[in-house]
Amino acid sequence: MLRFNHLLFTVIFCACGMILHAQEKITLNEAIEIALSESNTIKIADMTIEKTGYAKKGAYSSLYPNISASGSYQRTLKKQVMAMEMNGQAMEIEVGMSNNVSAGVTAAMPLINATLWQSLKLSALDVELAIEQARSSRISMVSQVKQAFYSVLLAKEAYNVYKEVYDNAQKNFEDIEKKYNVGKASEFEYLRAKVNVNNYEPEVYSAENAVTLAIWQLKAIMGIDLATELDVEGALSDYSNELVATLIENDTVSFENNTNLLQLRLQDEMLSRTIKMTKFQYIPTLSAQFSYNYMALGNTFNMNWNPYSVVALSLNIPIFDGFSKHNSIRQYQKTQDILRLNMEDVERNLNIALENYRDKMNTSVKKYTAAEATLEMAQKSYNISEKMYEVGKATLVELNDAQLALTQAQLNMSQAIYQYITNKAAIDELMGVEYVKEENKQDNQ
């Protein structure tokens, strides 16, 4: 039964290997570029910028003359009767014409309107905020793709380790089984080796499922179909050179480009503009209007058209509005005070998050250094135990202990690299570091 399970597992593993080989492998930069072009989050952010731009153009249209044409036709069903007395006799005279036609063009535009000018500046800030929100979406997307990509690499590293442990356990079992069959190994050793194989086999299946789940998560973040055959290129060891023993100094980290702070600052400026715009409502407004019309009256349609035109200036002086503007200004000021307090809290939380990420990165460097030294010793210990077991100078328990120590050292090294690069990606997101394509980097160099 054990041999059948091993054969079945081998067949499944080989089939999975063929599938993975047929899958397209992508690098981290390729995954980021696909996400930035295919993710719905990025598409929505770009559409929001476009929508806000249209709103800004609509606001600027208020500066141009508003020109409109109008026309009307009236048919008198019953004419108005005017009564009057002439030479002592009452007379009734019908007034008006059966047909009344008019047509004209009207143009109006503001000449002095301080509130309108401030609203235009507010619309420009709306566009800036939409652009910053789109930049925030891109920075967050890059960070998510990086962490998902690294998770796939970690899952694959764990799978390779467990698969190697399983293969070693299977090899040991086959050797012990041969010795047991000729009476050179005890039943305890035989059963212990068999139990080891059975224990490690579910770990391999679980690690394989973790790889599949991590790849699904990466594809979901990238915005591509989950049915797409995809694999990642590279290994966590490729990033080992990024681990540095030196601490990250405070002066090397700046929140000047942090997108959350930038958005809050834009909102603060928008509130200042809104307060100023409300205050400007106390200023009188002046507008100009011009109209040119034609009118024709007659009982038949053989009528004469009579033009007339008007030019007008309209001055509006606000006097009293029941303290509406005054209360609105105070409301906006309190909202701005709340916003500034929130900005202080955000800055504090950013510093706390930075310290947390820095501590984790420094801890990861120490773990990696320790794991690197431990791995070398664990590998030597396992090789020695394996040779000693082959000549009968070590027990299976000692060999299993050496295998367990080697496995733990391998996983510790992979986890140290993973924790370092994921926290580094989180710090880049805090600092508002934008993704730059490889060709752009080369051009800058």
Write phi, then psi, for 322 (nearest 5 degrees). Answer: 70, 30
Q: Dump pLDDT digits (tens) for 373-402.
A: 888 888 888 888 878 877 777 777 777 778
pLDDT bin (cut points 50, 70, 90) of residue 351 is very high
Q: Which amino acid is located at 134 in the chain?
A: A
Average pLDDT score over residue span 117-125: 89
Q: How far apart are the first and last CA of the chain?
A: 62
Query: For 278-337, what is each residue's pLDDT tens digit?
Result: 999 999 999 999 999 999 988 888 888 889 999 999 999 999 989 999 999 999 999 999
Buried b (16+ CB within 10 A) or exposed e, 270-294: bbebbbbbbbbbeeebebeeebebe
Give the number of other Cβ atoms within 10 Å of residue 239's Cβ: 17
pTM (predicted TM-score):
0.78
| Residue 445 confidence (pLDDT) | 47
What percent of the chain is modeled with pLDDT above 70? Answer: 91
The rounded distance, in Å, linking the Cα atoms of 220 and 213 is 10
Distance CA 224, CA 45 (A): 18
Q: Of the given ranges (3-12, 84-93, 345-354, 369-378), which has the lowest mean pLDDT?
A: 3-12
Structure confidence at residue 441 as a pLDDT band (50, 70, 90): low
pLDDT in tens, 231-283: 999 999 888 887 764 445 445 678 889 999 999 999 999 999 999 999 999 99
Please state which architecture CATH assigns to domain 2-38+113-283+323-437. Up-down Bundle (1.20)
Q: What is the pLDDT of residue 294?
A: 92
Q: For residues 197 and 403, give the distance between their C-alpha atoms in angstroms, rounded to a whole number.
A: 13
